[in-house]
Amino acid sequence: MAEDVCAVAELLEVLLGRGQEAVPSGPVSPSQLRALLVLERHDGTNLRTLSDVLRSRNSSVSRLCDRLEAMGLVTRAPSPTSRREVELRLSRRGHTVLRELREARAREVAAVLARMKPAAVHALAEGLIAFRDAVEDLEDAEDRPGAGGHSVADSA
């Protein structure tokens, strides 16, 4: 069963990748996309927190943020609470890229769903909702004191 789900997930990755390539503002790499999605959810986060959520070294995330800033997708500003920290935020263009990406991906997915029977679409939606709920339950368990885990959704 897990192998079947992984095979379908691979097809979905290809489908979503086509949507990503169709973004008018230009494509972003998977690691850039993950960072943008985290920053969208955690507006004003610092580099250390972003590194933790992405499960990557500070130096790597710093270079990633340099590229995102050069692309006009992220802004950096001094933290109002600490002179040693910098806040990271999505720029207007960063929000636009995410919106365009979601629209392009939705078009790709809609084209496939349109070829499916309504009952199959309903069953798929129910299954995906149950999968999401199970992921959230797992995250809740990992976030409990002593569990020491990172959120799967935060890893985007």
Stated length of the chain: 156
pLDDT: is 71 or 27 the higher one?
Answer: 71
Q: What is the mean pLDDT of residues 75-90?
A: 86
pLDDT bracket for residue 154 (50, 70, 90): very low
Instruction: Identify the pLDDT of residue 65.
Output: 94
CA-nearest of 39, 38, 37 to 77 is 39
Which of the listed CATH numbers 3.40.50.11390, 3.90.15.10, 1.10.10.10, 1.10.1740.10 matches domain 2-115? Answer: 1.10.10.10
Sheet containing 86-90: order of strands:
45-46, 86-90, 74-78
111 versus 141: the higher-pLDDT residue is 111
- Per residue in 35-56, pLDDT (tens digit) is 999 999 998 999 999 999 999 9
pLDDT tens digit string along 83-138? 788 899 999 999 999 999 999 889 989 999 999 999 999 999 999 999 999 988 88
Which pLDDT band, with edges at 50, 70 and 90, does 144 fall under? low
